[in-house]
Amino acid sequence: MLTPFDQLPDSARVWVYGVDRELDGSEKSKLLDEVDNYLRDWKAHEVPLSAARDWRDDHFLTIAVDQERAGASGCSIDGLFRTLKSFEKEIHAAIITSGLIFFRGKDGGIRSVSRDEFTKLAAAGDVDGDTEVFDPSVTTLGEWRSRFTSRAADSWHGSLLATRAG
């Protein structure tokens, strides 16, 4: 059951998927149509889930489920994962990413790099404590609302800046 994202409680469970490149308009439309169709019928043990999605900065898909009504089960989460994974081929982009650091570059665009590359960028002065970073590891909508985006110095990303000589 598709629900407006902003109407879900802070306790809602979230999964954030960072796409490794910016999607164009048609790719975004296809992806969001596919996700909306999936969420409309998403069930856990035959119980409809109250779910929503958010799309940010042409890179971030956030799926939320109101756990107070009915919680997503392992099988239902696997189904969502498989749906997104199969869609990657159609848009030639990675949706199911792990280990990537997402940040806003000096040009204003979103970049995704490995942890090692982010550390090298910090050492070179290309990213710093004021760099806007994105934290796809948040697990509740309350966390997502409060810290999905932040300054690198105010998040766990700050530990990757420590190697910068100064």
- How confident is the model over 11-23, as pLDDT tens digits? 999 999 999 999 9
**What pLDDT is attached to residue 154?**
95
**What pLDDT is attached to residue 15?**
92
**What pLDDT is attached to residue 48?**
77
What's the whole-number average pLDDT of the chain? Answer: 89
25, 66 contact by CB (below 8 A)? no
pTM: 0.88
Residue 73 banded pLDDT, cuts 50, 70, 90: low
Residue range(s) of every CATH 3.30.70 domain in the chain: 5-91
Does CATH place domain 5-91 in 3.30.70? yes
Close Cβ partners of 147 (under 8 Å, ≥ 6 residues apart): 135, 138, 155
Q: Strand locations in 45-130, DSSP E?
A: 47-48, 51-56, 60-65, 100-104, 110-114
Helix/strand/coil for 11? coil
Mean pLDDT across the stretch 144-166? 85
